[in-house]
């Protein structure tokens, strides 16, 4: 069994919590009128999602909550306060996983509060009404609740419009879930079509802007390509210029280093020559000293003449020593003459400082000799002393002669040294002139090299400046990591081409990165919309196919189900009425119905043609033929006949696609004993297909129910549930 248990608390007359177990195929609920037994059917209807308060025999949600009872001053009926909440729970057996949950039991619960707020739960977890309805629809317990036949609603299907009948039959056949899916798919299809329109509208709005941005972006990309090409040429030009400058600098360095080395060597040679000039200065100083010695020699000769005169005077004064004096004087004169000759010779060849010193020393000795002579002349009385003086003078003159010889030798040596040094000085002077000329030339060349290097450096700086200026003018940022672009242009051609390209780039307006980014974003948006549009169209096609499949399945299942229902409807109808015919037909309406649930003859709505008949949704027409009666419309049926016809149709529906359970609330109230027995037999047959909960007063019905629940109500207005036996139920009904 699927329907296991019903739990009611605070709902209508059930103030206290009651639990009804449904372990058998048929369960009967009996009780006197007004005991609240129909509230059990209302509780089941309500927990399954019923929203119509009229169907629940109330006006608002608060009417479903126990409103209190008892009182009146009677001790046997104490006052019971009203409750603030009503709740009902249905417990289903889910061992076979009929519901898509892993639980062995499925509990569907609903609660209402006096403020009108409703709560829904599935297995204790909060849920929405939609969740409950969707879940119940999957097992054939749809919103139309054709499986719950309320009190007085046994012939409701006969009073329904053709369209309502069709909906009831569709739900009875289990097609409601497909209808829901179809409606959802159609809603999704409508939403998809709306989204397609929105996407197409957005694309139409974007397209002119995309085209404009595409043109601007193309210009920017062309400018970017031109800029990149310009960069390549600039890099090539700069790289080649750098290479040329590096090569020329290297060539200059190859010249500069040897030239610098040669210049240093020449400077060293010049310095050495300058040292030689310093030696020449020393020689010149020596010559100046010899000249000074010549002057002193002249002075000495003058003194010699003076000495000679003095000697002559002495001779005259000392006639007694004439011979001696003459010899001495002659000797002195000879010495002096020789000295004069030597001095003159020395003056001719250029004596040195040593000769001058020797002459000076000899001169001093001559002075002393002359002084001695003078003393001798004065002191004629001392002849001996004069002789000694003359001897001394002679010895001194001899010494002077010796010194003279030394001076002559020194003069010869100095003369040779002078000649050697003069020749060496001449050679060094010639070399100095040669080195000086070479140094001057090297320095000129060095200045040219330095000037060339400065020119190259100036070119390099100008090149780098031009490069930076080009980059600054033609791009905001440049990675500069591209390889040199090899071409056949020479320097001048390349420079001119760079300038032409730069002018073209300036005329093109440069690169607008913002436009490129905006175009990329807009194009991406357009492509996204295109993809979305494509996806939406595919989704639309898929949904249309799904709707078509659902429509085909609904039509096929409905057509096949309608055939099966017709067969069973006719069978049950014949069993109940002992013959006759019964049929349901799918027809298109010919005019809009002017009545709702008040009209019985649904056939009247198909009498006159309607201009929209081709587009109108078809409905179900019921045709019956009771034995021995001419029935032209359902309105001609008696109350019992309507009830029996409805029962036959309901049983046919429940047999073709049995619901999990079927609630029948006093559907047998209008039956006589014979029909009640047939009704009971039909219940037994139907219980093989579905679980039955029967609310009844009928003894025949109670007899086929293994489980009986009795409902009673005391003076406090609270309904109570009792499990009773058939005899107790019959007694209760008899007493009632």
Q: 522 and 206 in contact (C-beta within 8 Å)?
A: yes
Q: How far apart are CA 648 and CA 667, in angstroms?
A: 12
Residue 125, Cβ neighbours under 10 Å: how many?
9
Q: How many CB atoms sit inside 10 A of residue 578's CB?
A: 12
With respect to residue 642, please indicate whether it lies within any of the assigned structural domains.
no
Query: What is the CATH number for 6?
Result: 3.40.50.300
Number of helical (H) and strand (E) elements in the chain, helices listed first: 14, 14
pLDDT of residue 117: 92
Give the pLDDT of residue 575. 86
pLDDT at position 383 is 58
Query: Helices 353-378 & 322-349, crossing angle to 10 degrees?
Result: 160
How far apart CA 370 and CA 245 sit, in angstroms, is 90
The interaxial angle of helices 176-317 and 353-378, nearest 10 deg, is 20
In a domain, 135, yes or no: yes
> Tell me: the pLDDT tens digits for 324-379?
555 555 656 666 666 666 655 555 555 555 556 666 666 676 667 666 666 656 65
pLDDT in tens, 112-144: 999 889 999 999 999 998 888 888 877 777 666
Q: How many domains does the chain have?
A: 1
Q: What is the pLDDT of residue 665?
A: 87
10-23 confidence digits (pLDDT tens): 999 999 999 999 99
- From 64-73, 86-95, 310-319, the region with the lowest mean pLDDT: 310-319
Q: Which residues pair with 118 in a beta bridge?
A: 112
Domain residue limits at 689: 1-147+661-736
Helix pair angle (383-474, 322-349), 10° resolution: 10
pLDDT band at residue 433 using 50, 70 and 90 as cut-offs:
confident
What is the average pLDDT value for the chain, to the nearest integer? 76
- Residue 216 CA, distance from chain mean position: 27
Mean pLDDT for the stretch of residues 418-445: 77
Any domain includes 713 = yes
Residue 507 has pLDDT above 80, yes or no: no
- What whole-number percentage of the chain has pLDDT above 90? 15
3-state secondary structure (DSSP) of residue 558: helix
**For residues 718 and 15, what is the distance between their CA atoms, to the nearest angstrom?**
6
**Residue 512 forms part of a structural domain:** no
pLDDT in tens, 208-247: 877 877 777 777 777 777 777 777 777 777 777 778 778 7
Task: Specify the pLDDT at position 478.
Answer: 43
Let me know: does 337 contact 298? Beta carbons within 8 Å: no
Is the pTM higher than 0.75? The answer reads no
| 301 part of a folded domain | no
């Amino acid at each position: 069994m699927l329907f296991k248990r019903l739990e009611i608390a605070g709902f209508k007359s059930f103030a206290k919590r009651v639990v009804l177990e449904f372990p058998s195929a048929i369960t009967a609920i009996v009780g006197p009128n007004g005991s609240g037994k129909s509230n059990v059917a209302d509780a089941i209807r309500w927990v399954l999602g019923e929203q119509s308060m009229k169907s629940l025999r109330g006006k608002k949600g608060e009417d479903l909550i126990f409103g209190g009872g008892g009182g009146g001053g009677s001790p046997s009926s104490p006052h019971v306060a009203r409750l603030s909440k009503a709740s009902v729970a249905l417990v289903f057996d889910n061992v076979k996983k009929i519901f898509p949950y892993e639980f062995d039991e499925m509990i569907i619960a609903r609660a209402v509060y006096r403020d009108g707020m409703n709560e829904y739960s599935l297995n204790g977890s909060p849920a929405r009404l939609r969740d409950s309805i969707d879940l119940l629809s999957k097992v054939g317990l749809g919103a139309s609740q054709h499986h719950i036949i309320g009190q007085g609603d046994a012939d409701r299907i006969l009073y329904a419009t053709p369209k309502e009948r069709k909906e009831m039959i569709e739900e009875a056949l289990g097609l409601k879930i497909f209808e829901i899916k179809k409606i959802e798919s159609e809603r999704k299809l409508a939403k998809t079509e709306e989204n397609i329109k929105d996407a197409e509208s957005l694309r139409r709005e974007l397209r002119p802007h995309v085209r404009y941005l595409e043109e601007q972006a193309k210009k920017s990309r062309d400018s970017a390509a031109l800029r990149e090409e310009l960069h390549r040429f600039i890099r090539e030009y700069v790289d080649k210029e750098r290479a040329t400058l590096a090569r020329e600098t290297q060539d200059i360095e190859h010249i500069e280093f040897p030239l610098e080395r040669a210049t240093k060597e020449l400077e060293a040679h010049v310095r050495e020559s300058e040292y030689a000039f310093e030696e020449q200065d020393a020689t010149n100083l020596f010559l100046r000293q010899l000249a000074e010695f010549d002057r002193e020699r002249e002075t000495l000769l003058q003194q010699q003449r003076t000495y000679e005169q003095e000697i002559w005077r002495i001779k005259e004064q000392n006639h007694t020593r004439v011979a001696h004096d003459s010899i001495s004087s002659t000797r002195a004169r000879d010495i002096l003459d020789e000295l004069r000759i030597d001095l003159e010779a020395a003056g001719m060849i250029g004596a040195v400082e040593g000769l001058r010193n020797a002459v000076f020393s000899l001169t001093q000795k001559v002075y002393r000799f002359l002084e001695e002579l003078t003393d001798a002349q004065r002191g004629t009385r001392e002849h001996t002393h004069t002789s000694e003086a003359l001897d001394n003078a002679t010895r001194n003159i001899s010494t002077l002669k010796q010194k003279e010889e030394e001076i002559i030798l020194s003069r010869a040596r100095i003369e040779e040294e002078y000649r050697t040094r003069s020749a060496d000085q001449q050679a060094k002077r010639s070399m100095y002139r040669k080195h000086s000329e070479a140094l001057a030339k090297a320095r000129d060349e060095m200045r040219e090299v330095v000037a060339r290097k400065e020119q190259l450096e100036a070119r390099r700086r100008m090149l780098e400046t031009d490069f930076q200026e080009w980059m600054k003018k033609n791009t905001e940022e440049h990675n500069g990591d591209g390889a040199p672009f090899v071409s056949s242009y020479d320097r001048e051609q390349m420079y001119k081409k760079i300038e032409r390209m730069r002018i073209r780039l300036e005329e093109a307006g440069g690169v607008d990165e913002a436009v490129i980014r905006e175009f990329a974003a807009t194009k991406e948006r357009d492509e996204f919309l295109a993809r979305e549009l494509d996806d939406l169209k595919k989704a639309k096609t898929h949904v249309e196919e799904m709707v078509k499949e659902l429509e085909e399945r609904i039509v096929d299942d409905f057509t096949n189900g309608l055939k099966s229902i017709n067969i069973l409807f006719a069978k049950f109808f014949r069993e109940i009425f002992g013959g006759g015919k019964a049929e349901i037909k799918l027809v298109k309406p010919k005019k809009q119905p002017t009545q709702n649930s008040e009209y019985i003859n649904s056939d009247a709505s198909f009498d006159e043609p309607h201009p929209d008949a081709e587009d109108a949704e078809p409905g179900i027409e019921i045709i019956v033929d009771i034995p021995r009666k001419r029935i032209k419309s359902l309105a001609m049926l008696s109350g019992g006949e309507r009830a029996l016809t409805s029962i036959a149709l309901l049983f046919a529906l429940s047999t073709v696609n049995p619901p999990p359970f079927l609630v029948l609330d006093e559907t047998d109230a209008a039956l006589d004993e014979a029909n009640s027995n047939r009704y009971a037999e039909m219940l037994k047959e139907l219980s093989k297909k579905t679980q039955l909960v029967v609310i009844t007063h009928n003894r025949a019905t109670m007899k086929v129910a293994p489980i009986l629940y009795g409902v009673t109500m005391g003076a406090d207005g609270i309904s109570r549930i009792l499990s009773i036996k058939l005899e107790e139920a019959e007694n209760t009904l008899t007493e009632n």
